[in-house]
Structure 1
């Protein structure tokens, strides 16, 4: 009898506890579903979470408690009105709070899919759609102030909320790499590799007549509707090239950074086997051997790549950039000239070739500044001056062509003006200056 009484009392306590936690969950759900919760709602929300923290013992209660707790920043943002400032968002939607929400939201969606009871699925799905652009802005703002690791964490959390949006995983990998968070960057790049992500596609642009700004559209059909309505004009398509080569290159570079050269070579070989028609991987392999200072293999691969694709101006240009970064000036000049030969309107090739020619000017200026006033030094000064002029004249035709192709490019114009000035080409200087 006594034992029975004890058992009965325990049953009553369990029952009271169960009712209590169901009540707290109902209150949390009510506030969560409000479009514009108030500051008082937020206080009540937190108070109910505190109560539920000791009551949630069953799997379902733990799942929902964790979700509502992780959603607290979302309620805080909602109390700020329809236009919270970037500073307010950054303070509340930190990489950790976003990551916690992503984990809890996914756990809730998986639980409801398993149980067959859609309690929050529709609301969570709607919230993710709304949160996505807001979180992307937070990540971009973090990246703009060089908080690369934090930006990567936010982008990865956005990807976890919608794994169909693989572009966000790519951005997470890029920012993690920029932030020297190589472990996470490698994990993200490897996941992209396993997903066979390429990032290829087409961006559909048109100019808004009222704002004069270009805007992009989800599809060609959508853009056509706006053009037909008369609100937009000047449609153009922008092709996005495959990012596979870049992904495998970065995997290889990170492995090299970690001292795993053979793994890097194996990763590139596997990439080429899996994607035999991806031309960007040719550059990846060449770049790999350049990084490990195997110049003979690099030169052979570069020559092979160009022989296979003799009409690819971009390939020649990219090989020039790779060579330039490795300070292989002769190779770089050869490939820039090849790019120009293939495409005589290749602005960047002209500009970079001029920059290549002008690199040695730093050396000339440094030596001239160290010279004294002796007769020997004066002779050396005049000799260097002649070398500088010769160097300027070598760069001049490439810069003039670059400015001809893009008259509004400030970098090209300023450099050309400087050379005209240095060579005392007064008439040309004044004519170009007048076009400003």
Structure 2
């Protein structure tokens, strides 16, 4: 026997579904929010009706690119509630449709992130990629895409968050990529697995299969972290990640150049301390000590610049920086030798 409360909820759900069918998503959401507090105590059938309708509304908003990343997350949560309650009740009314909707949304959001990136909407691209990653954390490429998009959009806080997460899960990006050429479009496309590609080839839709094993992304992640911290004037963390990058690749030119830059920035910290000192005997002694430290800090940049010139002998930034350091430290012999070799 159905209760009066459950009957009323069903009627309001029909109203929400009617609004959704007419494309009036905001009106549908208003009805759903009105009865939300009643749903936990509702019969399982009403719960699944409610969450399936909620998922559909948020999915439609996400598909129309209305706050896509956020609405994707809300739709995903609603569809997963459908699966949860139907698994508990063993009454599978919407399970297949909910699972299909989740896969469809993931595909559309990945496409949306790619399209946003192409037109320079980097934040929107990053948000979408990260939501896809949260939905399926085994698909770590989406986390890498979120980090890369944030870096491209100069959102260094988000870039650090995502690259740090990649580092913690030991992401390398390595793994076989499966390509084949679409016979109709003549364009090469990527497949999620070898079996998926073979199936398409057997159907006569694709040809010219090839495999590609991409290089590790670990160096790129560390360099990107170094750069992001550098842009935020966090020189200590920048130094740490550039040094880690050099451990992976001793010929990392970017690491060498930016480590030299970071070392010189440390000199400014010491100069600020020197400027704050007075003229007492103890302070003058401290001044001389800091002055010596300042020169040693600057000297510590020299090996990195020399290494940069081994990697790329004509690098203008390395030559200019090294000449500047030699001049500031009165290293006339070294200055003239470098100047003469140009």
> Which interval holds the TM-score relative to the shorter structure?
0.5 to 0.7
Structure 1 195/16 Cα, relative in aligned 2: closer, same or farther at 3 Å? same
Calculate the TM-score normalised by the size of structure 1: 0.51
The worse-fitting range, judged by mean Cα deviation, of 50-59 and 161-170 is 50-59
The partner residue of 1:89 within 57, 64, 76 is: 64
Superimposed CA distance per residue, residues 352-381 of structure 1 (whole angstroms, 9 cap, x where no aligned partner): xxxxxxxxxxxxxxxxxxxxxxxxxxxxxx
Structure 1 271/124 Cα, relative in aligned 2: closer, same or farther at 3 Å? farther
Question: Do residues 163 (structure 1) and 142 (structure 2) align?
Answer: no
Structure 1 290/29 Cα, relative in aligned 2: closer, same or farther at 3 Å? farther
Structure 1 42/195 Cα, relative in aligned 2: closer, same or farther at 3 Å? same
In the aligned structure 2, how far is the partner of 1:126 from the partner of 1:179? 33
Once the two structures are superposed, the pairs formed by residues 384-399 of structure 1 within 5 Å of their partners are none
Residue number in structure 2 paired with 1:145: 119
In the aligned structure 1, how far is the partner of 2:118 from the partner of 2:191? 25
Structure 1, unaligned runs of 5 or more? 1-14, 78-87, 307-315, 332-436
The partner residue of 2:256 within 286, 305, 312 is: 286
Superimposed CA distance per residue, residues 280-325 of structure 1 (whole angstroms, 9 cap, x where no aligned partner): 895564354155376523245557xx8xxxxxxxxx6xx689x46x
Aligned length: 280
In the aligned structure 2, how far is the partner of 1:69 from the partner of 1:175? 30
In the aligned structure 1, how far is the partner of 2:136 from the partner of 2:147? 16
Once the two structures are superposed, the pairs formed by residues 219-298 of structure 1 within 5 Å of their partners are 219-224=193-198, 226-227=200-201, 231-269=205-243, 278-279=248-249, 282=252, 285-292=255-262, 296-298=302-304
Between Structure 1 and Structure 2, whose CA radius of gyration is higher? Answer: 1
CA positional deviation for 1:123 = 4.5
The partner residue of 1:74 within 34, 43, 59 is: 59
Residue number in structure 2 paired with 1:408: none
Superimposed CA distance per residue, residues 210-230 of structure 1 (whole angstroms, 9 cap, x where no aligned partner): 432222333345445555665
The partner residue of 2:22 within 33, 39, 44 is: 39
Calculate the TM-score normalised by the size of structure 2: 0.62
CA positional deviation for 1:52 = 1.2
In the aligned structure 1, how far is the partner of 2:239 from the partner of 2:83? 39
The worse-fitting range, judged by mean Cα deviation, of 120-129 and 189-198 is 120-129
Bigger relative CO (Cα 8 Å, ≥ 6 apart): 2
In the aligned structure 1, how far is the partner of 2:200 from the partner of 2:40? 54
- Superposition RMSD in Å: 4.5
Secondary structure of 1:237's counterpart equals strand
Residue number in structure 2 paired with 1:20: 8
In the aligned structure 1, how far is the partner of 2:236 from the partner of 2:47? 46
In the aligned structure 2, how far is the partner of 1:117 from the partner of 1:228? 41
Contact 2:61 2:71 in 1 (8 A): no
In the aligned structure 2, how far is the partner of 1:179 from the partner of 1:252? 16
Superimposed CA distance per residue, residues 131-168 of structure 1 (whole angstroms, 9 cap, x where no aligned partner): 11211222222222222112111111121221111111
CA positional deviation for 1:116 = 4.8
Secondary structure of 1:292's counterpart equals helix
